[in-house]
Chains A and B, each alone.
Chain A
Amino acid sequence: NAGVTQTPKFQVLKTGQSMTLQCAQDMNHEYMSWYRQDPGMGLRLIHYSVGAGITDQGEVPNGYNVSRSTTEDFPLRLLSAAPSQTSVYFCASSYSNRVNNEQFFGPGTRLTVL
C-alpha cells in the first residue's frame, strides 16, 4: 500500500493564481481531511469528508474548496491564491469518522504564494 499520497511536494504560486493540491489514499478509508500547518499554530483543519459525495468545513475553510467524487481522492482547490495561504498542507485519512480512529497523514505539500 502506498498509504496517503500528495502531489506536488512543493509549489510556488503568484497571488491570484489557482491550483489543486492532490490527495489520494489506497486504504479504502471513508474519512479524509485537509490540514494546514503554520509556524507556532500547529495543524488546523480546513475541510473534511466522511465519505464520497460528502464534505464539510473545518476550522479554517475560507479560500479553499473541496470535493469527494471517489473514496480514494480528496483534492483541495485554491481558487485565487493569497500570501496568507502560504503554508504546509497535509492530507489525512482514517477508516471512519469514529473518534478513536488513527489518522494517517500524507507527506505534505509546501506551498508558497508570492
Chain B
Amino acid sequence: AQKVTQAQTEISVVEKEDVTLDCVYETRDTTYYLFWYKQPPSGELVFLIRRNSFDEQNEISGRYSWNFQKSTSSFNFTITASQVVDSAVYFCALSAFTGGGNKLTFGTGTQLKVEL
C-alpha cells in the first residue's frame, strides 16, 4: 500500500524567510511519481510539480525548489524568500502502478502561514 506522510501540520514564518515542507512516502513500486499541489485560501488545487522515481535531480523553479532523495524516501519542498502569497495548504501526493495507476495518495497537508 502507498502512504504519504507530511509531519508538519502547520508552519508559520515571517516574510522573506526560507521554509522547507517535508514529505516522506512509502511504496513497494520501483516506478512511481510524486507530486506537490498548492491549495490557496480560495480552495482550488494548483499543480506545482511532478517527479518520477528515476529522476533524482533537484528541481528549481523561481523561488521554489524540490529535493528528491530515494534513499530516505523523501521529496521535500523549499520556498526561498517566502511571500504572503505563499500562504496556503501544500499537499504531497504519490501515484504508483500497484496503487492502481493514476490514483493519487495524498498526505494530510501542511498549512503554511507567511506573515509580514
Contact = CB atoms under 8 A, between A and B. Distances in A.
B96 A107 contact: no
A108 B44 contact: yes
A43 B104 contact: yes
A28 B4 CA distance: 30
A31 B91 contact: no
Interface in B86-116: 91, 93, 95-97, 99-104, 106-109
Nearest to B51: A100
A97 interface: yes
Nearest to A100: B33
A99 B95 contact: yes
Given A43-B91, A88-B43, A102-B47, A96 B102 contact: yes
Interface residues of A, number: 29
A99 B33 contact: yes
Interface in A96-111: 96-105, 107-108, 110
A58 B43 CA distance: 23
Given A31-B102, A97-B102, A101-B102, 13 more contacts: A42-B91, A42-B108, A42-B109, A43-B93, A44-B106, A48-B103, A98-B101, A99-B95, A99-B96, A99-B102, A100-B52, A103-B47, A107-B43
Interface of A: 31, 33, 35, 40-45, 48, 50, 58, 88, 90, 92, 94, 96-105, 107-108, 110
The 8 A-B pairs of least Cβ separation, nearest first, read A42-B106, A97-B101, A105-B45, A43-B106, A42-B108, A99-B95, A97-B102, A107-B44
